[in-house]
Amino acid sequence: MPIKLPRAIEAYFDADRSGEPDAVAAAFTENGIVKDKGEIHTGREAIREWMVEAGQLYTYTMEPFLISTENGKTQVTAHVVGTFPGSPIDLRFFFVLAGDKVAELEITV
């Protein structure tokens, strides 16, 4: 049974599934931040470029299966399978939301 995600988080995962970097960037606030693999990407253009690079390196699917909220952050755990080292893996996505957009996303193992 699929989990119920807040609209902004659902928009992020839907955009990621579409493989469209512009759609992923649009899920974020203008000055949104992504922290992934020790790097910080700030602003929609940097987030779009991060998605372009990820799409060129790997193909993958993500299936969110757990959600919790703590200290103002929403944590979503997703099962990720793809053409990357360590696949499959469960990744944790820590979201800070601003209305119907993602203000900050940190991805960890």
Question: Distance (Å, rounded) from C-alpha 28 to C-alpha 34?
Answer: 9
- Give the DSSP letter of residue 4: P
What integer pLDDT is reported at residue 55 of this predicted model? 85
Residue 70 resides in a domain: yes
| CA 44 and chain centroid, separation | 13
Residue 44 domain-assigned (yes or no): yes
> What does the pLDDT profile of the chain (109 residues) look like in tens digits?
578 999 999 999 999 999 999 999 999 999 999 999 999 999 999 999 999 998 888 899 999 999 999 888 999 999 999 998 999 999 999 999 999 999 999 999 9
Q: Is residue 24 part of a domain?
A: yes
What was the pLDDT predicted at 1? 55
pLDDT at residue 54, as a whole number: 87
98 in Cβ contact with 78 (< 8 Å): no
CA separation, residue 85 to residues 57, 62, 69, 105 (Å): 11, 15, 29, 22
- Host domain of residue 51: 7-108
Please provide the DSSP assignment of 50-69 as one string: HHHHHHHH--EEEEEEEEEE
Q: Does any domain span residue 2?
A: no
CATH number at residue 74: 3.10.450.50
Has residue 57 been placed in a domain? Answer: yes
Whether residue 55 lies inside any domain: the answer is yes
> What pLDDT is attached to residue 2?
72
Structural domain count, the chain: 1
